[in-house]
Amino acid sequence: MTQYPMHKGIKVFGKAGTAAVLEELQQLHERGVIEPRDSDKLIQNEKASALEYLMFLKKKRCGKIKGRGCADGRKQHEHTNKEDAHSTTVAIEPLVLSCIVDVMENRCFNSGYSRSIHADGYG
């Protein structure tokens, strides 16, 4: 399935593309992900460091038009140290061992799902 940038996707999909963009933006608004700011009230430095939001449209297998968006983080690369940019990953063996110890010692623990916002719509 082909993914289109927003403007081309709206030309290809018409009203369904526009509806998908509005649905994606409404979801971001309802979840409090993005806070709109008046560009006239921003100083030059704030305008220069603001990230652009990229929106893409795709037709799913079921026929529904889906909007997907993400922040264009390329501006942040020059201001971010490599040490600060990596994400830590838990090794599976210590995690399993820790869970086994918790169970054997009858410790009470909770597992759960943490909902986070991802541009691809999962989360």
Please tell me whether the overall predicted TM-score, pTM, comes out greater than 0.85 for this model: no
- Domain with 27, as residue range(s), is 3-77
Looking at the structure of the chain, the number of domains it has is: 1
The two three-digit tokens of residue 82, written as one number? 């490599």
Cβ neighbourhood burial of 10 (10 Å; 0-12, 13-18, 19+):
buried
96 domain-assigned: no
CB 72 within 8 A of CB 88: no
Q: Where are the alpha helices (DSSP H) in the chain?
A: 6-13, 15-30, 44-49, 82-85, 92-104
123 domain-assigned: no
41 domain-assigned: yes
35 domain-assigned: yes
44 domain-assigned: yes
94 domain-assigned: no
Give pLDDT tens digits for 14-48: 999 999 999 999 998 888 888 888 989 999 988 88
102 domain-assigned: no
pLDDT for the residue numbered 19: 96
Give pLDDT tens digits for 83-122: 776 667 778 888 888 888 888 888 776 666 555 544 444 4
d(CA 38, CA 51): 14
48 domain-assigned: yes
Give pLDDT tens digits for 43-75: 998 888 888 889 999 999 999 999 998 888 888
